[in-house]
Amino acid sequence: MAQVNEATTSTTAAAAGGRRRNPRGQGEKLRHEILAAVGRLLDEKLGDNALPVSLREVAREVGIAAQSMYLHFSDKDQLALAVAEDGYQRVVTAMREADAGAAAAGAGADVRLRAQSDAFCDFARTNRGVFRLMFGHDAARFGPAGHGHPARVLWEQWLAAVVACEEAGARWPDGARHTATHLWSALLGRVALWAGALGEDDPEALHAFTDRTVEALLRDAR
């Protein structure tokens, strides 16, 4: 693909009545605006596991010339990967903040695990389109399983939360790694049902399930 001249692109955007170009050095700000725009558009198009938006649609949502998108993403696959990577980072950040808040209040590792589980479900509930992209049936295209997949950061957060309980005295019958897998799988499956087949819209249903799931795991570890 030919390199797009940024000065020409900004002139085109201005002529089209679009947003003004970010000052030099603020390209990262525009990138975040693009990712946020994709999230909004995905929420409007929840019926497709792929990326059901075009670069042109995203450009219109942000208010930039379509050519400007190619300064950041060469195609839809690259954009989808960036949206997924950003999603994994944001859900981990939410879980870490929930963990830190519970720890600051003097909570034990079990309460901190519940807090992180709730944060995971809350992220899924409020970012449905992005979450669907992160865990859709073709998410394998984001990279090989294991260390090469951007979801690795989320797996490591789940494992760390479970290990913290183990260090506090929990004795997981299946070990920490299997327990982390069980917990993540249970919550991911429940979120998928909540947002899809069951058609529920009460966040308390998710929180109640989270509490019961974590309690069941902890009961087995006592």
Q: How far apart are CA 81 and CA 93, in angstroms?
A: 18
pLDDT tens digit sequence for 141-173: 777 766 678 999 999 999 999 999 999 999 999
Q: How far apart are CA 44 and CA 34, in angstroms?
A: 16
Q: Are residues 172 and 106 in the same domain?
A: yes
pLDDT tens digit sequence for 83-114: 999 999 999 999 999 999 999 999 999 999 99
Q: Are residues 93 and 200 in the same domain?
A: yes
Residue 74 lies in a domain: no
Cβ count near 28 (within 10 Å):
10
Please report, for the domain that includes residue 135, its CATH number: 1.10.357.10
Q: Are residues 128 and 209 in the same domain?
A: yes
Q: Are residues 189 and 123 in the same domain?
A: yes
Identify the domain boundary among 26, 43, 69: 69
Q: Are residues 99 and 175 in the same domain?
A: yes
Question: Could you tell me what percent of the chain has a pLDDT over 70?
Answer: 79
What is the residue range of 94's domain?
Answer: 84-220
3-state secondary structure 33-98: HHHHHHHHHHHHCCCCCCCCCCHHHHHHHHCCCHHHHCCCCCCHHHHHHHHHHHHHHHHHHHHHHH
> Which band of pLDDT confidence, cut at 50, 70 and 90, is reported for residue 68?
confident
* Cβ 72 vs Cβ 34: under 8 Å: yes
Q: Is the pLDDT of residue 179 over 70?
A: yes
Q: Are residues 88 and 193 in the same domain?
A: yes
Q: Are residues 213 and 152 in the same domain?
A: yes
What is the reported pLDDT for 184? Answer: 97
Give the CA distances from residue 33 to residues 27, 60, 80, in Å, rounded to whole numbers and listed in that order.
10, 12, 14
Please report, for the domain that includes residue 60, its CATH number: 1.10.10
- Higher per-residue confidence, 23 vs 207: 207
Q: Is the pLDDT of residue 29 over 80?
A: yes
What is the reported pLDDT for 9? Answer: 37
Q: Are residues 172 and 204 in the same domain?
A: yes
Q: What are 188's two structure tokens? A: 């991911």
Residue 205 lies in a domain: yes
Q: Are residues 197 and 89 in the same domain?
A: yes
Q: What is the pTM of this model?
A: 0.81
Q: Is the pLDDT of residue 202 over 90?
A: no
